[in-house]
Structure 1
Amino acid sequence: MDGIVSARRTMETWASATRTRSMSPSRRGRRSTAARAREMTVGLRGAMDNVRRSVAVLATRVRDAHAARVRVPLGHGSWESCCAAEFDISRAQAYRLLDVTRSLTAIHGAVAAGIETSRTRDSARPPRPRSITACPSAP
């Protein structure tokens, strides 16, 4: 549902920017260029968030299809021919998506691990300052 709401907001933002472009020069001058730029930037951010979510879903589905060996029941002799015929992507693109899924899984695992599994120790007291001694051969 969040994706739909976000997509709707993105479309509304772009529609607003389009309406601004179609205004007469005198009306367009009333809106500051910075405000228009900010609206467009917000719209682009929303669109990029949607793309990131879509790529994550696509990568997960490709991983699941690869792990389930869907190529076998579909009659494909190789993963490459399955990717080309069923998904209309190259084998290299499919493996890039598998890499994306591995990366997202690793990031999620690191974030979900929390601080309990950290091997570093945070000390409440600051490190002791080192004393500077003069070189014994100095005059």
Structure 2
Amino acid sequence: MFWGEKRILKKGFVMIYTLILGLIILLVSSYIFMLEASKKVYILDYKKNVTEKIYSRETTNYLLSQMNSYILSNTNNVNKSELYKLFSSSPDKNKIGNNDYFIYYSIYEDTFIISQSYRGNRIKRDTYNYNFIDGKINYMYFSSKYQ
């Protein structure tokens, strides 16, 4: 059978087959490692999104009270015309807060809008209508939009 036959094998073929087989094994193992690494990154990202503090009612109340005190300190009589004059005269000062959480008065919509970071790259915008009660502003929640 095969034992008696003399094989003709050239000297470099074993080394080439070994290198090709080793390269294939290396490529497959590096691909599997890359899949596991991306899976780990996805899990950590998801964990960060789940445990992130997304919406704080205290922050909203703080921003509304800061806006109220700003309006009351800069106007004598609180009404719609005075409010429009205050924010149209200085449009750069109608924003109170920092880059993550802030409130501003939209002159075009005649509403107050609170903008907040929501789960990393999204922004939540809460719209508040208002009316005047006893010389103070009463904010009423209207809607939310996610961008």
- Superposition TM-score, scaled by structure 2 size: 0.31
> Which has the larger helix fraction?
1
- Superposition TM-score, scaled by structure 1 size: 0.32
> Which has the larger strand fraction?
2
**Larger RCO (CA within 8 A; separation ≥ 6):** 1
